[in-house]
Amino acid sequence: MEPLILRNYRDSDAEAVSVLFRQVYGDHYVQPHVYLPHMISQNHADKRWHSLVAVTGEQICGHATLFRDTHSPIAELALSVVHPDTRGQNIATRLGQQLLTHAQALGCHNVSIKQVTHHPYTQRMAINLGFQNTGLLPDYVPSPFGSPAPESIVVGCRMIDGYRRPLPRQTWPDSCRDFMQHLCRAFGTQERTSRWHGAAIRLEQHANRYDMYLKHLRPALLEQIRELPRHWLISIRLRLSQQFAWDLSRLAAVGFVFTGLAPAEGKEEGWLALFHRGYRLRGLTLQCPHMQQLHDQAQQQLALHLSETPR
């Protein structure tokens, strides 16, 4: 058997990496760039992707990437794929370990990861790599496994040694106190609310999902959100502040459920509170007990709403 070698991505690897994704995911992977070797090459040339591959002989059998915008202190561990014939050798975990070391060399403050829930392997890998699970994104992307139902995602965050991403210190609502105190122990707290850069509100559409980014939840805006079509799947990312208890109560009153936190993106600091409306009833078995509890609470709230809705 040929020895397994982990090495840096080379310009000549683009075609083989694209073939690997097709072998594992067919035509269903959610990042379309992997189907165009020219895009794979361009992302590396632009220094947005920093990849490692696993090689046996002349064949690429594993791949993982750090996504990072230029000069951003945040990276994402993504595009982890392993050929079925070489599974069971912890290839994805080993690639991830080396990329986390590379993130430190790049000057990153923290690394995030989005874990699929269709199977347990990505979730187990994230736990083994030291990620803290912080949030759940229900029905977030089209299934990369060919299922007609969308895939829910677990968000994880791992701080690089020497850096912190504290939560704003406050008394947390009873409904999520244990979970939020768990995150406070993991990431620390501070008195101030982190700064916000850019527009105070953004609304984007991704497939059948509407993503809303909010600096503040003003009463007039809340009323407008209430009137958005009920069949829309809406994901709100709201800056986590000392007003969290008020925000949670008001959004719950218009049908949104809280599903944890995600680190702010790009050059932003702090955390975003995750709220969702329009997701579907479904069962999930998750590796993290905190994520399992968030999922179960969201499902119970949806079931209660459906039972109270006139038919």
Residues 155-169 have pLDDT tens digits of 999 999 889 999 999
Position 186 scores a pLDDT of 96
Residue 112 has pLDDT above 90, yes or no: yes
Q: Phi then psi for 302, rounded to 5 degrees?
A: -65, -45
Which range is least confidently modeled, 65-69, 81-85, 145-149, 240-244? 145-149
Q: Note whether residue 170 is domain-resident.
A: no
Residue by residue, DSSP assigns 46-96 as TTSEEEEEEEETTEEEEEEEEE--TT-SEEEEEEEEE-GGGTTS-HHHHHH
**Inter-residue contact 261 to 273 (CB < 8 Å):** yes
Residue 254 has pLDDT above 90, yes or no: yes
Residue-averaged pLDDT of the chain:
94
Confidence category of residue 195, pLDDT binned at 50, 70, 90? confident
Total number of domains constituting the chain: 2
Last residue of some domain: 159, 177, 209? 159
How far CA 18 is from CA of 43, 44, 93, 235, 278, in Å, comes to 13, 14, 20, 31, 34
Same domain, 153 and 9: yes
Domain containing 83: what range? 4-159
Exposure string for 143-157, b = 16+ CB within 10 A, e = fewer: bbeeeeebbbbbbbb
Same domain, 212 and 292: yes
Residue 1 has pLDDT above 70, yes or no: no
> Rounded distance, CA 41 to CA 281, Å?
40
Same domain, 132 and 213: no
pTM of the model: 0.94
Same domain, 67 and 199: no
Q: Note whether residue 166 is domain-resident.
A: no
Residue 118 is encoded by which pair of tokens?
């269709």
Q: Note whether residue 188 is domain-resident.
A: no
Same domain, 15 and 63: yes
Q: Note whether residue 12 is domain-resident.
A: yes
Residue 199 has pLDDT above 90, yes or no: yes
Same domain, 121 and 233: no
> Rounded distance, CA 27 to CA 207, Å?
16
> Rounded distance, CA 289 to CA 282, Å?
17
Same domain, 74 and 205: no
Same domain, 140 and 256: no
Residues 11-21 have pLDDT tens digits of 999 999 999 99
Position 250 scores a pLDDT of 97
Same domain, 69 and 141: yes
Same domain, 206 and 153: no
> Residue 9: which CATH number?
3.40.630.30
**Inter-residue contact 53 to 7 (CB < 8 Å):** yes
Same domain, 259 and 133: no
Q: Note whether residue 13 is domain-resident.
A: yes
Beta-bridge partner residues of 258: 275
Position 251 scores a pLDDT of 97
Last residue of some domain: 159, 185, 215? 159
Confidence category of residue 310, pLDDT binned at 50, 70, 90? low
Same domain, 266 and 122: no
Residue 44 is encoded by which pair of tokens?
């590396």
Confidence category of residue 93, pLDDT binned at 50, 70, 90? very high
Percent with pLDDT over 90 in the chain: 84
Q: Note whether residue 285 is domain-resident.
A: yes
Residue 228 has pLDDT above 70, yes or no: yes
Q: Note whether residue 232 is domain-resident.
A: yes
Last residue of some domain: 134, 159, 184? 159
